[in-house]
């Protein structure tokens, strides 16, 4: 790719491993409902909104649940998750991630977060990552979650750039689909590396530096 001007980072599973905390929180809800829930099942929730995540879990064999009960369960999961987030600190961010963000900024790139999470700003504040970004687009400013491209389109807009001037870094198939649909080239990490619409497969966040040369 020639001359990107901005990089949009997914949060959970890319900048920080809150995916483990989502797993613990959802495990408690699934256990209460008598639904077997594995780490492989949890991988299907990457990048997916809280409400859609609950539907995926209930489809694993749960009881019939009304819309009101679903709202209560989603709130309970979020309360457990937020209690776990209370333990986060700057030490939970891989120094290589922090250094990658600093180096991209030294290279003159504008940086944004593009996350489905409604807790993204709290996570960024607690980990001291907020100041590494020019803009944050998250679950609070979208009406449609990944795989819809809205969260990345808003991030590009916040950076005053076009999608083709940005690259997205994602760990989730839903996020790769969102980036591709929105016209963004994208890096795929972890499970997302296998997605057919990935532009570049990478093993770790710092690998973006090789592809986004000065
Ligand atoms: P919340 P990302 C996503 O974050 C998570 O991967 C996904 O597991 C979660 O359900 C979603 O945020 C919503 O999170 O319940 O905190 O609003 O990967 O898009 O940064
Ligand atoms: Mg993610």
Banded pLDDT at 113 (limits 50, 70, 90):
very high
Asked whether the domain spanning 19-85 has the same topology as the one spanning 6-17+90-211, the reply is no
Name the token pair of 110. 């504008």
Nearest CA residue ID for atom 12, ligand 1: 117
Name the token pair of 28. 């408690």
Distance 162 CA to ligand 1 centre (A): 24
Compare 213 and 178 and report the one with higher pLDDT. Answer: 178
Q: Does domain 6-17+90-211 have CATH number 3.40.50.720?
A: no
Class of domain 19-85: mainly alpha
* pLDDT at residue 96, as a whole number: 98
**Average pLDDT of the segment spanning 64-74:** 95
Which of 73, 86, 80 has the alpha carbon at shortest distance from 22? 80
Is 145 a residue whose pLDDT tops 70? Answer: yes
* pLDDT at residue 2, as a whole number: 57
Strand partners, 200: 187
Banded pLDDT at 63 (limits 50, 70, 90):
confident
CA pair distance 12, 18, nearest whole angstrom: 5
Q: Domain segments of the chain: what residues?
A: 6-17+90-211, 19-85
Distance 11 CA to ligand 2 centre (A): 6
| 3-class secondary-structure state, position 114 | strand
Best residue among 22, 97, 136, 179 to mutate for probing ligand 1's pocket (most ligand atoms within 8 Å of CB) is: 22
* pLDDT at residue 1, as a whole number: 54
The distance between the two most distant Cα atoms of the chain, rounded to a whole number of Å, is: 55
Ligand 1 atom, smallest distance to 172 CA: 18
188-192: long-range contacts, CB 8 A cutoff, minimum separation 24: 189/13, 189/14, 190/13, 191/43, 191/46, 192/46
* pLDDT at residue 3, as a whole number: 80
Is 59 a residue whose pLDDT tops 70? Answer: yes
Best residue among 76, 139, 151 to mutate for probing ligand 1's pocket (most ligand atoms within 8 Å of CB) is: 139
**Average pLDDT of the segment spanning 94-102:** 98
Distance 7 CA to ligand 1 centre (A): 19
């Amino acid at each position: 790719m020639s001359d990107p001007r901005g990089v949009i980072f997914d949060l959970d599973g890319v900048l920080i491993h809150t995916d483990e905390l989502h797993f613990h929180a959802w495990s408690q809800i699934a256990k209460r409902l008598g639904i077997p829930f594995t780490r492989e099942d949890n991988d299907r929730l990457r990048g997916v909104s809280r409400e859609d995540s609950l539907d995926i879990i209930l489809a694993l064999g749960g009881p019939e649940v009304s819309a009101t009960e679903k709202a209560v369960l989603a709130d309970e999961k979020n309360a457990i998750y937020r209690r776990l987030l209370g333990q986060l600190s700057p030490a939970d961010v891989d120094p290589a991630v922090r250094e990658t963000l600093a180096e991209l900024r030294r290279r003159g790139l504008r940086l944004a977060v593009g996350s489905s999470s409604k807790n993204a700003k709290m996570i960024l504040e607690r980990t001291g990552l907020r100041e590494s970004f020019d803009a944050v687009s998250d679950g609070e400013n979208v009406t449609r979650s990944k795989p819809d491209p809205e969260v990345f389109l808003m991030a590009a807009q916040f950076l005053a750039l076009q999608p083709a001037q940005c690259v997205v870094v994602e760990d989730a198939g839903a996020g790769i689909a969102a980036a591709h649909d929105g016209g963004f080239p994208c890096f795929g990490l972890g499970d997302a590396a296998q997605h057919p619409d990935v532009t570049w497969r990478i093993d770790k966040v710092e690998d973006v530096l090789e592809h986004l040369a000065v």
